[in-house]
């Protein structure tokens, strides 16, 4: 169901389409909102009409909770396609589960109702475990909504030659975020918990490239691989020059990342040299390399312009040190679950 704060707001609707899924606000009682649609009545407690206007929610008949699939005011909307995965990464923020619930038809309906110009995240688990249904679903959405795009996080283990056409058909509208943790198979495979993963990636990345797909290579920096970053940078510029950008990412203290934090966390605020070396090598060969989830005050000034705000709004927070900071508006701050007592040693004053 898509929520409309008032019927008149619909006339200014972002997609210009009214559907059977639209629900109009018919009653407000304090923080209790009642919406009516051809599909039934939905009551939401504890929020305001402005807060949820334009959102797309999944409400099962008789259920006590509605799932917010699209938040209209947020640029960070992600569909969790599955919690299953064939890898077991040391720092996984969403540790895999065996159980799978197929919500793809609901995600497709939600995407079609999304505000204009939205880029929707596709994540897991490993979403391409269900590529037989997922790729056609994405294609249908992109056909019906020429204004939308997808950003897919995938370990890229499940692409083969048969996928060339679908990948090529979506190439201008989909960015594939694909992890690579080291230039050597042993280190990469140990980090992702899967023997043969590195070699498989070397088979599949060229398929994405031949399809003309956009690739965001992703490397989470940990004690396991920090000293190997310069070598990885050389590997990237030599063997993977077709990528669109390389994201060097700080660890997130959630899931396995929280469990293994003390063993994995690499404090770049006190030891930036391996990262600087990697950035410099990439830059020398015109490979765009950026820093994701790096608070700007932890980055030496010459590299600070490589650290955009990347932490999603709903999982971002700022510390006491941030009040009065001149760069707060362009800084992504910290993850909500950042452990202050075991985090960065050095925050520069800005």
Q: How far is the CB of 347 from ligand SF4 (least distance, A)?
A: 6
**Cβ contact 140:178 at 8 Å:** no
**Cβ contact 335:315 at 8 Å:** yes
Two tokens, residue 128: 């391409």
- Of residues 41 and 326, the one with the C-beta less far from ligand SF4: 326
Q: How far is the CB of 311 from ligand SF4 (least distance, A)?
A: 10
- 240 Cβ neighbours under 8 A, 6+ residues apart: 180, 205, 217
- Of residues 123 and 293, the one with the C-beta less far from ligand SF4: 293
Q: How far is the CB of 325 from ligand SF4 (least distance, A)?
A: 3
- Of residues 275 and 297, the one with the C-beta less far from ligand SF4: 297
Q: How far is the CB of 253 from ligand SF4 (least distance, A)?
A: 15
What dihedral do alpha carbons 24, 69, 168, 154 form, nearest 10°? 180
Q: How far is the CB of 327 from ligand SF4 (least distance, A)?
A: 5
Q: Contact residues for ligand SF4 (CB under 6 A)?
A: 295-297, 318, 321-322, 325, 327-328, 331, 333, 347, 350
- Of residues 251 and 297, the one with the C-beta less far from ligand SF4: 297
Cα–Cα distance measured from residue 319 to residue 335, given in angstroms and rounded to the nearest whole number: 10
Q: How far is the CB of 346 from ligand SF4 (least distance, A)?
A: 11
Q: How far is the CB of 298 from ligand SF4 (least distance, A)?
A: 7
**Cβ contact 44:52 at 8 Å:** yes
Q: Which residue has the tokens 């006339």?
A: 11
Q: Percent helix, strand and coil across the chain, each rounded to 5? A: 35, 20, 45
Q: How far is the CB of 120 from ligand SF4 (least distance, A)?
A: 27
**Cβ contact 134:81 at 8 Å:** yes
User: Within 13 A of 123's CA, how many CA atoms are on the CB side?
Assistant: 15
**Cβ contact 54:74 at 8 Å:** no
Two tokens, residue 204: 């599949």
- Of residues 52 and 325, the one with the C-beta less far from ligand SF4: 325
Nearest partner of 52 among 38, 78, 31, 37, judged by Cα: 31
Cα–Cα distance measured from residue 194 to residue 89, given in angstroms and rounded to the nearest whole number: 8
Q: Which helix (H) or strand (E) holds 196?
A: none
């Amino acid at each position: 169901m898509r929520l409309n704060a008032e019927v008149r707001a619909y006339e200014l609707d972002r997609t210009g389409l009214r559907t059977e899924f639209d629900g109009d606000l018919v009653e407000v009682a304090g923080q209790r909102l009642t919406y009516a649609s051809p599909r039934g009545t939905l009551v939401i407690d504890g929020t305001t009409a402005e807060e949820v206007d334009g959102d797309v929610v999944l409400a099962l008949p008789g259920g006590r909770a509605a799932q917010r699939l699209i938040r209209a005011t947020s640029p960070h909307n992600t569909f969790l396609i599955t919690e299953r995965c064939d890898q077991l990464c040391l720092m996984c923020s969403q540790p895999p589960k065996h159980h799978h619930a197929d919500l793809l038809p609901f995600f497709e309906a939600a995407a079609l109702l999304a505000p204009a110009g939205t880029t929707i995240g596709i994540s897991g688990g490993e979403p391409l475990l269900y590529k037989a249904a997922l790729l056609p679903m994405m294609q249908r959405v992109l056909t019906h909504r020429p204004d939308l795009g997808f950003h897919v996080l995938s370990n890229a283990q499940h692409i083969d030659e048969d996928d060339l056409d679908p990948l090529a058909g979506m190439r201008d509208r989909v960015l594939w975020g694909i992890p690579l943790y080291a230039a050597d198979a042993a280190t990469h495979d140990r980090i992702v918990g899967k023997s043969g993963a590195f070699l498989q990636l070397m088979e599949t990345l060229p398929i994405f490239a031949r399809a003309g797909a956009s690739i965001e290579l992703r490397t989470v920096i940990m004690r396991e691989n920090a000293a190997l970053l310069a070598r990885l940078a050389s590997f990237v510029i030599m063997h993977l020059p077709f990528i669109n950008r390389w994201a060097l990412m700080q660890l997130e203290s959630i899931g396995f990342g929280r469990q293994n934090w003390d063993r994995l966390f690499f404090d770049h605020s006190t030891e930036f040299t391996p990262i600087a070396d990697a950035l410099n090598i990439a830059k020398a060969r015109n490979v765009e390399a950026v820093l994701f989830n790096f608070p700007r005050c932890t980055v030496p000034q010459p590299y600070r312009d490589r650290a955009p705000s990347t932490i999603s709004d709903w999982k971002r927070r700022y510390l006491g040190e941030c009040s009065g900071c001149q760069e707060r508006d362009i800084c992504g701050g910290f993850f909500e679950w950042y452990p202050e007592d075991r985090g960065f040693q050095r925050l520069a004053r800005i």
